[in-house]
Copies of this chain bind each other. A is one copy, B any other.
Amino acid sequence: MDTVEQGANAHEHHHGYISRKDDYLKRLRRIEGQARGLQRMVEDEKYCIDILTQVSAMTKALQAVSLGLLEDHLGHCVVEAARTGGREADEKVREASEAIARLVRS
């Protein structure tokens, strides 16, 4: 906790979600594909409601990614900070809460 904070060394410091990295990458590639599919739909002037349905599906997929990342974050960074204790723990809780608020409001 005292040294590398923000990524300096990917080998020494992994942020918890590393174990499911491949899963996240696969989902994000699929989401990227959905973004391309939406462009084709607009290009081809598909029916507006069908496009909206696709946007909802894509939003849900993104949401699932954030909820997964958040759970990983709580289970790793926040739990670890809680064990360290003191201000570190308070800060991590506040930071996670702000991320949750952004998520809920978006």
Contacts and interface: CB of A to CB of B under 8 A. Distances in A.
A78 B67 contact: no
Contact of A74 (B56, B72, B97, B104): B97
| Copies of this chain held together in the complex | 4
Interface residues of A, number: 74
Contacts of A100: 67, 70-71, 100, 103
Interface of A: 1, 5-7, 10, 13-18, 21, 24-25, 28-29, 31-32, 35-36, 38-40, 42-49, 51-53, 55-60, 62-63, 65-67, 69-75, 77-80, 82-83, 85, 89-90, 93-97, 99-106
19 contacts: A1-B40, A18-B45, A21-B42, A24-B42, A31-B38, A32-B32, A51-B69, A52-B73, A55-B65, A55-B69, A56-B66, A56-B103, A63-B105, A67-B100, A67-B104, A71-B93, A71-B94, A75-B89, A79-B93
